[in-house]
Structure 1
Amino acid sequence: MPSSKTNRIALIASAFVIIALILFAMLRDNADAITLNQANSLLQSKSVKKVIVTKEYVYLKTDNGYYKIASSQVTPRMFVDYKVEVGSESNIIAIILFLVLFLGLGSLLVKFLQNRGVFGDIRFKRSDETNNASSSLLELNSPIEAMKSDVSFSDIGGISDVKIELEEIIDFMKNPKRYKNFGARMPRGVLLVGPPGVGKTMIAKAVASAADVPFFYQSGASFVQIYVGMGAKRVHELFAAAKKNAPAIIFIDEIDAVGKKRDGQRNDEREATLNQLLTEMDGFEGSSGVIVIAATNKIDILDSALLRAGRFDRRIFVELPTKREREAILMKYLQKVPHELDVKVIANMTVGFNGAALAALVNEAALLALRQNDFHVTLEHFYQVKDKVMFGKKKLQMLNEKQKAYRITYQAGKVVVATYFDLPFEKLMLSNEKLTPSTDEPFIKEELEARVKMLIAGTVACDMRFNEHASSAKADLDEAKEITLKMCQEYGMGTAIIPESNEEELMLKRLYEETTLLLESLGEVIQNVESVLQERESISKEEVKKYINAIF
């Protein structure tokens, strides 16, 4: 028996050696390196059977051998007559072989531990009474565990102002005695306020990573349960776990789900949960080292008791990134993407984008480049996917010749006025539903009027050319009316601070007449833009500028 066991072990060891040798043979790059001239010769002689592109090399497979050349030495035009495959076949084989090796070693380890009696006391129980309610209760009763954050501030671009605000928190978590000896205490709670997608969760994780403390993450919605008392119990367990692991950070995402204003309407479970949260935040004297960070995009609906001093003492507003911040964010996401781009141009064309939208934009551009078998992401890829990220993919209706003529004139009027007033955009396509994104920045009167003129310019151009316009103008006209209404009723930008009757109608009529005079003076520019749109269905801001500068 001992000899048979020895033979079995030797057989298994031999099998793993063979697998390792096969793995080495399959992963070894056996392609011969060639020069650019040799590659051109192979391609021109039509002897290449397959072209495979990877990040570092382009592989040429022929009947006589397998050759490689650095990707930086070739251009896509060299492979116009060939179907190009992206990736490497060896990766799949390597994964399979690694998986086989891992499972084999894992099986041996489990068998060894079983023989040693490690699993002797473990028994598995089955229950025939399992249903959705019981599984939910099990989940609620499961212990709350801390996680280690793997996000650092270096992974987040464009938050220098926010980082300065949080450096005190990080220092306090590392050196609490310094603050205690000075008689100072740090805020018990920090509230991150900002629109969705600006990176509030990532910022909280970066704080935990920089302070090197346990990170307890909970969503506000997870406290709102159908079981009476379970939400309050969950809050208590969360704070108890954090106190045991102090110093620690509790992060409550979307706190407005549990912290809404109490308006007198009966909701015992929600109120009990909120009361428990308030009580826990009041009981921090004996548990220094625990800081609560919460995130919301609806601070106006939070209960006043939650916002008072002693609970969330510090509020940090995380706004949409500025141009410089967008550049920093884009640089982070483009680090691993092969590109030939001026990041400043991309930052200019993404006014109103948040961090999540910028990440999606870079990813969509990279996917488009892969679909088109391009070796680098270019500015044209970003132009093609920008509207998809901003407004979603929208299937456009098929236009007949007459409808297309109206569309061309409509878009020409908009793009000429937008360029004349230097509104933020980089390129217009015939299929664009919106030219520039609306923002909530504080505008002065002439900037708002310029935007209204851009929104009605398409309608004005069609009325001038065809004496009528299409129903597709509705969205632009609605926005123009909304801006005009706010200017008169809310911003005091009409003829008087207190608006008179029909104030919006008079303002919109005046702006329509001024836009008509402007387009009449730019008639030659509109004709040139229409010709370009008719030919290629797109035009850049720089091209329109050249046409305008030519007549002034």
Structure 2
Amino acid sequence: MLNSSRKFLLRGTSNAGVSLAGSGSCNITSANPLMKSASLILGSALNRGSYLEVPKFSSVPEAFYNNLFVNRLFHTSTIEKASRVSPAKLARLEYEAQTSNNMDRKAEYLQALFDLEHYQMIVQLVDSGSYSLDHPLIRQIYRASLERIGGVYQENAPRTNYYAYSSQTQQPQQSTPPTFTGTPDNSYINTYNFPHQPQPVILPQKLVVTMDDSFFSRFNKVNLNRSILSMLFSLAIVGLFVYLAYYTPNDPTKQKQGGGGLGSMFGQTTYKPITNVETRFNDVKGIDECRGELEEIVDFLKNPEKFNKLGGKLPKGVLLVGKPGVGKTLLAKAIAGEAGVPFFFCSGSEFDEMFVGVGARRIRELFAAARKQAPCIIFIDEIDSLGGKRTAKDPFYSKQTLNQILSEMDGFKSSEGIIVIGATNLLESLDKALIRPGRFDRHIEVPLPDLRGRKEILDLYLKKVPLNPSVNVETIAKKTTGFTGADLENLVNVASIRACTKNKEQISSDDIDYAFDRIVMGIARTSSINVMNEKDKEITAIHECGHAMVVLLNQKKSSQLNKDILHKLTIIPRGSALGFTASLPEREVHHMSKQQYIQIIEKALGGVVAEEIIYGKDNVTSGCTSDLQHATNIARSMVTRFGMSELGLIDFTEEGSMYQKGPEFSPETKRLIDIEIQKIINSSYERVKAMLKENETELRKLAKELVKYETLSGKEVLDILEGKEVKRSIVGEVEF
């Protein structure tokens, strides 16, 4: 009879746990031949399972430890129930018993097994011949173990038969004593060799094997916690992916089935047009030259039958070319608003993603949606991001989006009423197949607004803010040459913000001037002027007054219709500059003569020449770096691009464009170019030096006043040179 009813849970490679009800007869593993006596086939499978985590003993080798009896047979919870034997101690005792011939060590190990009620294991170990019954304690433990399992102890009985104590009659067989072998690295693997191992006699005891399919039978507590954490982490990843895939941004122009984010890569994109476009041509100012051609397109969209009668075809594409901020997008909206047709807006950068084929699919979906809404307008902003020139070295997948848009524009009929409007500021970068007739039939250049256009744009934006009646809009328009519509809108916005910070009820001319100076020259670093010493202020004032004097002197002697007008000069640092001199053209500039370019070079050299006159040539500072660079670039352009030198009317530019390499010239030609550039710079230097030397007194006087007031307007400079007093006493009252 089995004396113990305790269950031992063994973990193996099978899907279900195995519970053995018995007296701790867990000799199921097949690693030790001694433990085959139970004749359980499950042993080989269980031996391949994971070992139980038992606290290691420092003196037990790693390879031996992994094969210890305590690791292979006992569940941790079973050993913890023993009051006197710990897992670490049992591991140490087993190791010492198997690696030593000391019978005291072996007896101590048998005593530990006896305390754990593993009587049959004790009998098997003693019957193997490795444990001598001459030792009194071993004999006592052996006899007690036999009694526990129903055996009878016989003095001087042969021990070659493991079950000589059985009630069955069996003649003992002689066999070769067992040998204990180790691995090549002397780490014992708990293996016994029996050359003539007899078949064991099964004890008359009942062994019950039950299959336990419960969840907790497969995992111990540690594995269960790890499994739960792993499952929660996986669910979190899946949840995040689903959120990104199905999140839809609040964009009225396009909604994605599958949402934005990752969903836009996989899900179908459904583009929805803007149907109520409120922008009209009256809202677009300063580009009257483009309006005529665009009104013709509007007439196409409104009355296509009128043109179809005479065989006229609606243009498939219109390309708007111009600098950023000139109003290309606003023009496209005005076309849609005037024609009263749906308007599809998209950017060229939103078609391509990290996956191949996404851009081409989105182009197909965009045109499919447009066909359903025809007549309509498709506007693609920054079309150069998807329509760049193709080369033979490009991989096939990199131009799928461009190929698809080429196919779509050739694939639908012009009578469908779909017009594609593209906007770009890099016409030379577009593929020739995209801009040929039949696709983008018309190229419309959107220029910078002229004086009248700037005045119209300023009137449009200034009507929306409270404006002081003293503000002269035409004066503002004159000094904003080169400003785009977006720049003018920003000008009004900055002036409005400044008026609010000053607690004003209306925008004044001072606010407009402040906004202009901030946009053109940057934010004034007023704190830097406070830490500058008087010598640095004086040097900066001399430098800036040199620029101002050259502008004023050239203005007097110039016979050109277009002259530069001195606007303002300051020694308050702005950006990386310690000072600044601003001059504005008298009227709109469309052409530049050689004399005008020479005056620009002379103005740039005025600062360094003024320092040389006042402080000497050896004391000129490095503040002229940007001036010299600017003067050299102008002189080089005069020689290599404009034909304004003795080398003749030849284009000597070597850079070319970003898509076409320029011509190459011989070293001798390059030397001649450098000589001509040097001639222009040197002659300009001599003229400036003569002018400032002649007016050195006025230069010193103006510099002294600039140090005092830090900022002077053009009118104040003229008053100082005429001997008049500046009508203000506060330093820096004129904000710059």
**Shorter-chain TM-score category?**
0.7 to 0.9
C-alpha contact 2:545 2:699 (8 A) present in aligned 1: yes
> How far 1:159 sits from its partner (Å)?
1.5
Please tell me whether residue 264 in structure 1 is matched to residue 437 in structure 2: no
Matched with 2:692 is 519
Please tell me whether residue 429 in structure 1 is matched to residue 570 in structure 2: yes
Please tell me whether residue 309 in structure 1 is matched to residue 437 in structure 2: yes
What is the identity percentage for the equivalent residue pairs of Structure 1 and Structure 2?
A: 36
In the alignment, the residues of structure 1 paired with residue 700 and residue 287 of structure 2 have an alpha-carbon distance, to the nearest angstrom, of 45
Give 3-state SS (helix, strand or coil) of 2:582's partner.
coil
Give 3-state SS (helix, strand or coil) of 1:502's partner.
helix
**What letter matches 2:263 in structure 1?**
L
In the alignment, the residues of structure 2 paired with residue 427 and residue 274 of structure 1 have an alpha-carbon distance, to the nearest angstrom, of 50
Q: 1:331-346, aligned counterparts within 5 Å?
A: 331-340=459-468, 341-346=471-476
- Within the candidate set 289, 301, 308, 1:161 is matched to 289
Matched with 2:255 is none
**What letter matches 1:430 in structure 2?**
I
Could you list the per-position Cα deviations for residues 374-414 of structure 1 after superposition, in whole angstroms to 9, with x for gaps in the alignment?
22222222222323223543647442111110111111111
Q: 1:186-205, aligned counterparts within 5 Å?
A: 186-205=314-333
> How far 1:321 sits from its partner (Å)?
1.4
> How far 1:534 sits from its partner (Å)?
2.5
> How far 1:302 sits from its partner (Å)?
0.6
Matched with 2:506 is 376
| Cα distance change of structure 1 residues 457 and 216 upon mapping to structure 2, 3 Å threshold | same
Matched with 1:534 is 707
> How far 1:522 sits from its partner (Å)?
3.3
Matched with 1:324 is 452
| Deviation beyond 6 Å, 4+ runs, structure 1 | 437-440, 547-550
Please tell me whether residue 491 in structure 1 is matched to residue 624 in structure 2: no
> How far 1:166 sits from its partner (Å)?
0.6
**Higher mean displacement: 522-531 or 316-325:** 522-531
> How far 1:253 sits from its partner (Å)?
0.2
Matched with 2:186 is none
Q: 1:362-511, aligned counterparts within 5 Å?
A: 362-393=492-523, 395=525, 397-398=528-529, 399-419=532-552, 420-421=554-555, 422-423=563-564, 426-431=567-572, 432-433=579-580, 435-436=582-583, 442-467=591-616, 468-497=619-648, 499-511=672-684
- Within the candidate set 127, 133, 149, 2:277 is matched to 149
| Cα distance change of structure 1 residues 440 and 130 upon mapping to structure 2, 3 Å threshold | farther
In the alignment, the residues of structure 2 paired with residue 440 and residue 136 of structure 1 have an alpha-carbon distance, to the nearest angstrom, of 48
Normalising by structure 2, we get a TM-score of 0.55
> How far 1:521 sits from its partner (Å)?
3.4
| Cα distance change of structure 1 residues 425 and 158 upon mapping to structure 2, 3 Å threshold | farther
C-alpha contact 1:149 1:208 (8 A) present in aligned 2: yes
Matched with 2:478 is 348
| Cα distance change of structure 1 residues 328 and 428 upon mapping to structure 2, 3 Å threshold | farther
> How far 1:342 sits from its partner (Å)?
0.2
Could you list the per-position Cα deviations for residues 289-337 of structure 1 after superposition, in whole angstroms to 9, with x for gaps in the alignment?
1111110001111101111111111111111211211111111111122
- Within the candidate set 236, 242, 246, 1:130 is matched to 242
C-alpha contact 1:348 1:424 (8 A) present in aligned 2: no
**Higher mean displacement: 529-538 or 308-317:** 529-538
In the alignment, the residues of structure 2 paired with residue 434 and residue 138 of structure 1 have an alpha-carbon distance, to the nearest angstrom, of 54
Give 3-state SS (helix, strand or coil) of 1:426's partner.
strand
> How far 1:424 sits from its partner (Å)?
5.2
In the alignment, the residues of structure 1 paired with residue 613 and residue 712 of structure 2 have an alpha-carbon distance, to the nearest angstrom, of 22
| Cα distance change of structure 1 residues 199 and 410 upon mapping to structure 2, 3 Å threshold | same
Count of residues in correspondence between the two structures: 426
Matched with 1:213 is 341
In the alignment, the residues of structure 2 paired with residue 153 and residue 364 of structure 1 have an alpha-carbon distance, to the nearest angstrom, of 26
Alignment gaps of 5+ in structure 2: 1-237, 247-259, 556-562, 573-578, 651-671, 724-736
Matched with 2:370 is 242
| Cα distance change of structure 1 residues 440 and 280 upon mapping to structure 2, 3 Å threshold | farther
In the alignment, the residues of structure 2 paired with residue 300 and residue 549 of structure 1 have an alpha-carbon distance, to the nearest angstrom, of 52
- Within the candidate set 397, 403, 423, 1:295 is matched to 423
In the alignment, the residues of structure 1 paired with residue 625 and residue 460 of structure 2 have an alpha-carbon distance, to the nearest angstrom, of 39
In the alignment, the residues of structure 1 paired with residue 420 and residue 600 of structure 2 have an alpha-carbon distance, to the nearest angstrom, of 42
C-alpha contact 2:639 2:677 (8 A) present in aligned 1: yes
> How far 1:270 sits from its partner (Å)?
3.3
C-alpha contact 1:224 1:269 (8 A) present in aligned 2: no
Could you list the per-position Cα deviations for residues 217-271 of structure 1 after superposition, in whole angstroms to 9, with x for gaps in the alignment?
0100011221111100111111111111111000000000000000223243431
C-alpha contact 2:479 2:584 (8 A) present in aligned 1: no
> How far 1:549 sits from its partner (Å)?
8.1
**Higher mean displacement: 455-464 or 381-390:** 381-390
Alignment gaps of 5+ in structure 1: 1-125
| Cα distance change of structure 1 residues 440 and 473 upon mapping to structure 2, 3 Å threshold | farther
| Cα distance change of structure 1 residues 392 and 540 upon mapping to structure 2, 3 Å threshold | closer
> How far 1:528 sits from its partner (Å)?
4.3
> How far 1:133 sits from its partner (Å)?
6.7
In the alignment, the residues of structure 2 paired with residue 304 and residue 549 of structure 1 have an alpha-carbon distance, to the nearest angstrom, of 61
C-alpha contact 1:256 1:301 (8 A) present in aligned 2: yes
> How far 1:547 sits from its partner (Å)?
6.4
> How far 1:275 sits from its partner (Å)?
0.4
C-alpha contact 1:174 1:211 (8 A) present in aligned 2: yes
Matched with 2:70 is none
Give 3-state SS (helix, strand or coil) of 2:277's partner.
coil
Matched with 1:139 is 264
> How far 1:215 sits from its partner (Å)?
0.4
In the alignment, the residues of structure 1 paired with residue 453 and residue 324 of structure 2 have an alpha-carbon distance, to the nearest angstrom, of 17
Please tell me whether residue 225 in structure 1 is matched to residue 353 in structure 2: yes
C-alpha contact 1:383 1:427 (8 A) present in aligned 2: no
**What letter matches 2:688 in structure 1?**
T
Structure number with larger C-alpha Rg? 2
C-alpha contact 2:316 2:409 (8 A) present in aligned 1: yes
> How far 1:484 sits from its partner (Å)?
0.9
In the alignment, the residues of structure 1 paired with residue 692 and residue 481 of structure 2 have an alpha-carbon distance, to the nearest angstrom, of 26
Could you list the per-position Cα deviations for residues 192-234 of structure 1 after superposition, in whole angstroms to 9, with x for gaps in the alignment?
1011111111111111111111000010001122111110011
In the alignment, the residues of structure 2 paired with residue 394 and residue 265 of structure 1 have an alpha-carbon distance, to the nearest angstrom, of 49
| Cα distance change of structure 1 residues 392 and 542 upon mapping to structure 2, 3 Å threshold | closer
* Greater RCO, CA 8 A, separation 6+: 1
Normalising by structure 1, we get a TM-score of 0.72
**What letter matches 2:406 in structure 1?**
L
